[in-house]
Amino acid sequence: MTNVDFRQVLHQAARDTADVLTAQLRSECMASGWPPQVANRISVKYSGNKLVVDIPESIKSEADNLEYGSPSVQLTAAIRRFGNRPEMGEAFLLKRAKQLLKGKL
């Protein structure tokens, strides 16, 4: 049996999951009518043992207006809708961890 660092496997699976979730989140934002220059700069990051949505400061105000609405912009709730479906990320994380462990146990 090979010596496996399970923590390292889970961290790698989480980083890979963040990449997949970034694509899904951007797609959700675009489908909700967000301008590409905003949607394509939002990402999901693996940080502090958590997967978190990252919105650069330079677009935060516009993203907040799109997400929560303003007097001139109707709310879309794209990020919140995305966050309410954790099963997509969970399934990919488990699948990726199994792939990384294949042949090591």
Task: Locate the domains of the chain by residue range.
Answer: 6-95
Which residue stretches of 1-105 are H helix?
Answer: 6-31, 36-39, 57-68, 78-83, 87-101
Name the nearest CA neighbour of 30 among 76, 64, 71, 65: 76
59-104: per-residue pLDDT in tens?
999 999 999 999 988 989 999 999 998 998 999 999 999 999 886 6
Q: Kindly report the number of other CB atoms within 10 A of residue 91's CB atom.
A: 11
Q: How far apart are CA 82 and CA 85, in angstroms?
A: 6
CA distance 17 to 15: 5
pTM greater than the 0.85 cutoff: yes
